[in-house]
Amino acid sequence: MPLETAENVSQIYRTRFEETGIAKRDRVWKTLCKSYFDHHMVSSGSILDLACGYGEFVNNIDVKTKFAVDLNPDAKSHLNGGVNFKATRADNLSHIPSNTLDRAFTSNFLEHLPDKKACDAVLKEVLRVLKPGGRFIILGPNIKYAYKEYWDFYDHYLELSHISLAEGLRMNGYEITSNVPRFLPFTMANKQPTHDLFIRAYLAMPLFWKVFGKQFLVTAEKPKNAIG
């Protein structure tokens, strides 16, 4: 697994989130959830936010039962009261029974894993906790389009494209239901506008994604006939 410890993950979060602004990130994710991700959820069901950060996604997504995990114990203080949080590694979801979750989500996490073996372990564990027909939604930097900016982050290890990730998901028992090579811009840590009207307009016009998007959005499903 990654070389990070809970202590240095906490330090990285504080530094990066303060640079981009915690309130700004929460505002952006509120719009992303309402205008896009809510439509891909089971609102009466369950969701796991894997490597939840400060809860920008899980706090804003419209789902009844919410789970979140992160190696950083500071994450809990940023989560809403209804979120079930555990400070744990992403390949150890032993507190969640098998075949119980409708959705799992992760954003900008897999690139922090040290190698494909660690990634396989995470994908297998998420597959275990998903219901048959449950879906894993993965957002992350696409090395195919963000090959320059990608290496500006000291804790980036694993290079993934939308193609290689899809192949890895299939090898670990998933079926790909959607694969968007270019979805969101690479980072919020710049001068790109983040007003909710701009974000809604961006999401409504996929042509913009092909110009500005440097993150993939891959959705994979646990086969409906899967056992365990």
For residue 111, give the DSSP letter: G
E strand spans, 5-156: 46-50, 65-70, 83-87, 101-107, 130-141
The distance in angstroms from the start CA to the end CA of the chain is 24
The pLDDT assigned to 11 comes to 60
More confident site: 134 or 21? 134
Q: What share of the chain is helix, strand, coil (3-state, %, to 5)?
A: 40, 20, 40
- Residue 196 token pair: 């909710």
Rounded to the nearest 10 degrees, the angle between the axes of helix 116-129 and helix 162-171 is 60
Beta bridge partners of 157: none
Q: Note the pLDDT tens digit of each residue in 46-101.
A: 999 999 999 999 999 999 999 999 999 899 999 999 999 999 999 999 999 999 99
Give the pLDDT band of residue 2 (cuts 50, 70, 90). very low
pLDDT of residue 25: 87
116, 86, 127, 93: which is closest to 227 by C-alpha? 127
Q: How high is the pLDDT of residue 3?
A: 45
DSSP state of 52: -
pLDDT tens per residue across span 94-125: 999 999 999 999 999 999 999 999 999 999 99
DSSP 165: H
* Average of per-residue pLDDT across 165-181: 98
Q: Which pLDDT belongs to residue 193?
A: 58
Question: Is 13's pLDDT higher than 70?
Answer: no
pTM: 0.89
Q: Is there a contact between 56 and 36 (Cβ–Cβ < 8 Å)?
A: no
Q: How far, in Å, are 27, 33, 174, 181 from residue 135 at the CA level?
A: 25, 16, 9, 18
pLDDT of 125-147, one tens digit each?
A: 999 999 999 999 999 999 999 88
Q: Which residue has the higher pLDDT, 24 or 43?
A: 43
| Half-sphere exposure (Cβ direction) of 172: Cα atoms closer than 13 Å | 22
How confident is the prediction for the chain on average, in pLDDT?
90
Question: What is the reported pLDDT for 150?
Answer: 83
